[in-house]
Amino acid sequence: MPDLLTQAMAFEGLAWVALAAFVAGVVRGFSGFGTALIYLPVAAQVMPPLWTILSLAAMDVIAPAVHIPAALRKGHPRDLMRLMGGVLLLLPVGLWVLTRVEPDVFRYAVSLLSLGMLVVLISGLRYRGTVTPSMVWGIGGAGGFLGGAAGVPGPPVILFYMASPHSASVVRANTTAYLFFYDLMLIGVLLVLGGFDILAFVIGLALALPALAGNLLGAALFHPERERLYRGVAYTIIAGAAISGLPILSGGG
């Protein structure tokens, strides 16, 4: 383990991804979203695709753990099981796609998905139809596929699941639990399929510290009367991270 920590600390892009983790934590702390949308485009510039999503899962699985008991009590267990069932079915497919694409393709996918999600957030676009139990399976499956292929399992839930008949508190609880168990499932599937890299995992665990520090700072900075300002800052940082991740701007693609 000491050797792994030494290797993790010697990783050439560590300062860059640690800064991204800290900024993502700050934005998460004062806006409640944005971790993956900020971290992934930046980390993909210095890490292989699998490392990028595995380090994010390791980084993002620690802090939310304390909220899971409450999320399970307040949420809707059957819907959560449907979401996770869909993830389990299509997450391996997404990971298979990830192993077949070039790193630049992955970077384009991550950046463009982040920009697309930013448009959704700004516009307030949501699915307005009825969400049935079978659709929840599909939403989980779409999240699993996107999570495996591009590291972003959240957009399908944000777009469609928030239109469910559940209250906002139930949706929030299920979404919190969904993202937590997605991270655990990703780690487990990579272990089973042989794609798990212990060094990337240790780097992710190390990044949990700046991410947590940023989260605490962001929460301390938050004032409800300035929510619009915070969202504007969050959107600007997400856009900057996504654009910076486009290979065409760094001589790739």
For the whole prediction, is pTM greater than 0.95?
no
User: At 48, is the pLDDT very low, low, confident or very high (cuts 50, 70, 90)?
Assistant: very high
Q: Is 174's pLDDT higher than 70?
A: yes
Using the structure block, give the residue that is written with the tokens 């009367």. Answer: 225
Domain ranges across the chain = 2-250
Computed over its alpha carbons, how large is the radius of gyration of the chain? Answer: 17
Q: For residues 31 and 176, is the Cβ–Cβ distance under 8 A?
A: no
d(CA 95, CA 162): 26
d(CA 144, CA 182): 8
Q: Which one of 4-8, 159-163, 240-244 scores highest in mean pLDDT?
A: 240-244
| Distant-in-sequence contacts of 115-124, Cβ < 8 A, 24+ apart | 115/239, 115/242, 115/243, 116/155, 117/37, 117/152, 117/154, 117/155, 117/158, 118/37, 118/235, 118/238, 118/239, 118/242, 120/155, 120/158, 120/159, 121/33, 121/235, 122/235
pLDDT (tens digit per residue) in 58-75:
998 887 787 789 889 988
